[in-house]
Amino acid sequence: MGKNKLSRFAENRTFDHVLQPTFTELRTDGLPLKGRWNVEFFKRDAPIVLELGCGGGEYTVGLAQLRPEKNYIGIDIKGARIWRGARTAKELGLANVAFLRTHVDHILSCFGPQEVSEIWLTFSDPQIGKARKRLTSPLFLARYKEILKPNGVIHLKTDSPLLYEYTLERIAENELPILECSAEVYAELVPRVSPEEQAVLNIRTYYERMWLEEGRTIHYVRFGIH
Ligand SMILES: C[S@@+](CC[C@H](N)C(=O)[O-])C[C@H]1O[C@@H](n2cnc3c(N)ncnc32)[C@H](O)[C@@H]1O
């Protein structure tokens, strides 16, 4: 393992806002913060927003700056990526940001029923040929439904036409409400929304910047779950 990765892992252990439960801890008792994130961690009552597969946490940190009235948690299995977001959040003095290093499959061990208000899926792996593993598969949507509030929403931002179309099919199949939807975020959606929403949609993640340089089109859908 590279020195860089090791020093990032070491620094993660010093951050109060990076939680790294073991799979055994999650499997036996669940995360102690489950159902208690606002009371015990953020110490204020505010809507909780998750970014799943957050990588360097560009949406987690970007949204925390744009909408400081909400609490944000970036989740990823890779500690070296989470470190980037955690370090930036610390440098910016953001008290409304946490990072959780775990597998998205363990989400029900980490959040209580209706504890979460919004979920962002940013450039998730389209899992070609493995539909069950997609983060908008029926299995994951059922999990999100448990932890989301009745008016909770899910945002998907992706370069993958496969994942975008697949998600639209699951939305239709389950008769879920589409709140916003565009196959061309920058050419079609951004010009017609409010400046506040433009700022949110204009946040670029690490992967998004790579795909934009390759000339790929970015898709977005926001939908309700209940
Ligand atoms: C394509 S990257 C996108 C990262 C970031 N959202 C971005 O747009 O730059 C997918 C991310 O999802 C994470 N990931 C994939 N499967 C995961 C899982 N089951 N649980 C947690 N993280 C996962 C990977 O570690 C990776 O950081």
The pLDDT value given to residue 42: 98
- Give the span between the Cα atoms of 126 and 226, in whole angstroms: 24
The pLDDT value given to residue 2: 80
Q: Is the CB of 123 under 6 A from ligand 1?
A: yes
In angstroms, what is the span from residue 79 Cα to ligand 1's centroid? Answer: 11
pLDDT category at 77 given cuts 50, 70, 90 is: very high
Enzyme catalytic residues: 125
The pLDDT value given to residue 29: 85
Q: Is the CB of 60 under 6 A from ligand 1?
A: no
- Closest ligand 1 atom to 78 CA: 25
Q: Region 48-71: what's the mean pLDDT?
A: 98
**Average pLDDT over all residues of the chain:** 97
The pLDDT value given to residue 3: 78
Question: What three-state secondary structure class fits 205?
Answer: coil
Which one, of 219, 39, 64, 206, lies nearest residue 136 by Cα? 219
Catalogue all structural domains in the chain, each as residue range(s) with its CATH number: 3-224 (3.40.50.150)
Note if the pTM is more than 0.95: yes
Cβ(157)–Cβ(208) under 8 Å? yes
Which one, of 205, 15, 12, 29, lies nearest residue 106 by Cα? 29
pLDDT digits (tens, 9 = 90+) for 135-157: 999 999 999 999 999 999 999 99
pLDDT category at 226 given cuts 50, 70, 90 is: confident
The pLDDT value given to residue 28: 87
